[in-house]
Amino acid sequence: MKFLKKSDPVLAKLFGKVQPSVLRPSKNYFESLTDAIISQQLSGKAAATIFKRFQGLFPGNKFPTPAQVLAKSDIELRTVGVSGSKASYIKNIAAGFEDGSLDFKHINKKTDEEIVEMLVKVKGIGKWTAEMFLIFSLGRPDVFSFGDLGLRNGVKKVYGLRKDPSPAKLKQLSAKWQPYRTCASLYLWASLDNK
């Protein structure tokens, strides 16, 4: 926070005014990616409901394994509110875990770019989903998702811009926050909840 206070006084005005989310990185990467797919383009409440129903398709209190998910038909997945395309994407992820194309053994030795590159090879995982995985599942410290609408709206609000920030403006601002762009992102998202 000291670094961000010094490098960007405008962003620093948020400190103490808003409460950002606390990162709780997950070790169940299959669950995290499944949750990310289910959450795409849904409100948090709707996504949480569907995610809970999805888990209810499987016995026990643990999140299902990739093999268990692959054993379900798309129709079964759709009965709990997962769209046809999302059912397909979740199965693509499960297949990646099963066949080893999604290899997380040495994840801590991989760069953010290497992880994004690995993830976007799976149909259904785009750059935004991969970046959210870096932030919320791995707790990587220097991630800023230029394609995230919430971050663009946060920048617009915090910096008093009349128009949406251009990619060049986002790049210029986020350069000030390196190597702590994740922290800046959390504050920008929180600023949107603070009227």
Is residue 148 annotated as part of the catalytic site, yes or no? yes
Q: Under CATH, what is the fold of the domain 29-137? A: Endonuclease III; domain 1 (1.10.340)
pLDDT of residue 195: 58
Q: Helix (H) and strand (E) counts for the chain?
A: 12, 0
pTM: 0.88
Which residue's structure tokens are 């009965």? Answer: 79
Domain spanning 2-22+144-193: CATH 3.30.1330.60? no
Q: How far apart are the C-alpha atoms of 167 and 154, rounded to whole Å?
A: 14
Token pair listed for 149: 């609408």
Residue whose C-alpha is closest to residue 137's, from 16, 67, 19, 37: 37
Q: Which of 74, 112, 148, 164 is catalytic?
A: 148
Backbone angles phi, psi at 166, to 5 degrees: -75, 160
Supply the mean pLDDT for the chain: 92
Cis amide bond preceding 141, omega within 30:
no
Helices (H), 79-179: 84-99, 112-120, 127-132, 149-158, 167-177
CA 29-93-147 angle, 5° bins: 80
Residue whose C-alpha is closest to residue 181's, from 149, 152, 147, 140: 140
pLDDT of residue 22: 82
Helix (H, G, I), strand (E, B) or coil at 15: strand
- For the chain, which residues score pLDDT lower than 70? 194-195
- pLDDT tens for 59-84 read 888 899 999 999 999 999 999 999 99
CA 26-151-11 angle, 5° bins: 100
Domain segments of the chain as ranges: 2-22+144-193, 29-137
Looking at this protein, which amino acid is placed at residue 44?
A: G
Residue 193: CB partners within 8 Å, gap ≥ 6?
A: 18
